[in-house]
Amino acid sequence: MKSLHIHYFQHVTFEGLGCIEEWALQSGHSLSATKFYESALLPDLQAIDWLIIMGGPMSVNDEVKYPWLKLEKDFIKKAIKGNKSVIGICLGAQLIAEVLGEKISPNKQKEIGWFPVQLSEQGKQSPVFHDFDESFNAFCWHGDTFHLPQNSKHLFFNACCQNQAFLYGEKVLGLQFHLEVTKLSLHDMIKHGKSELIKRKYIQTSDQIWGGILNIEKCNKMMYKILDRLAKK
């Protein structure tokens, strides 16, 4: 596996790379970041191999409140056109879907906590996901959802949200859920998002979320497998 230069976009202090950072450093890859809550300075596109776009509580439609969103979307579009590997998680997946021409809108219900996601028929045939369990518990924290980009493959779904993940071409991946979550990132997300933990069908309490931490190790192993396979593209 060749050494990659991975640049990531982070939108808030409490949603970083999680276990992806450990994978990158152990694999000998280099990392750089644009942290939009500090600066909207973007990298030279030709100097990076991968772009990873993390989550955040804002909407892709909040350009008035967060003017850097337009700059971010333009860069993501250029990265995809430039044949870079692009991975989006939660908000990141929604940003990818939007730059590929789809609208982002509120899901019927918010989904916060550990919920089972199911592998689709296209997911079962994907060289990246073909040997994944047909159903597993993933950590979710989102209120919006995306329509599938044209010509993309629908990978995962569940009872709350039909479009949980997609693959566009061979190198552009959108995941609505958080396989990268660690105990630290879980703690930070709960701390900063506790006002959202109200009683709803698909919103768990903080105790229920902490009760699912045994899922973290399995989710991280799946994240590593995804990253390893995309690194061979």
Return the pLDDT at 192.
Answer: 97
- Please state the φ and ψ torsions of residue 54, each to the nearest 5 degrees: -85, -175
* Nearest CA-CA partner of 233 in 163, 181, 168, 176: 168
Return the pLDDT at 1.
Answer: 67
Q: Using the 8-state DSSP alphabet, how is residue 47 labeled?
A: G
pLDDT in tens, the chain (233 residues): 689 999 999 999 999 999 999 999 999 999 999 999 999 999 999 999 999 999 999 999 999 999 999 999 999 999 999 999 999 999 999 999 999 999 999 999 999 999 999 999 999 999 999 999 999 999 999 999 999 999 999 999 999 999 999 999 999 999 999 999 999 999 999 999 999 999 999 999 999 999 999 999 999 999 999 999 999 98
Q: Using the 8-state DSSP alphabet, how is residue 147 labeled?
A: P
Q: Using the 8-state DSSP alphabet, how is residue 20 labeled?
A: H
Q: Helix %, strand %, coil % for the chain, to 5?
A: 30, 30, 40
> What tokens were used for 72?
């971010």
Return the pLDDT at 201.
Answer: 97
> What tokens were used for 117?
């996601």
> What tokens were used for 6?
């991975």
Q: Which CATH number fits the domain that encloses residue 73?
A: 3.40.50.880
Domain carrying residue 118:
5-231
Domains contained in the chain, number:
1
Query: How would you write 181-212 as a 3-class SS string?
Result: CCHHHHHHHHHHHHHHCCCECCECCHHHHHCC
> What tokens were used for 18?
């999680």
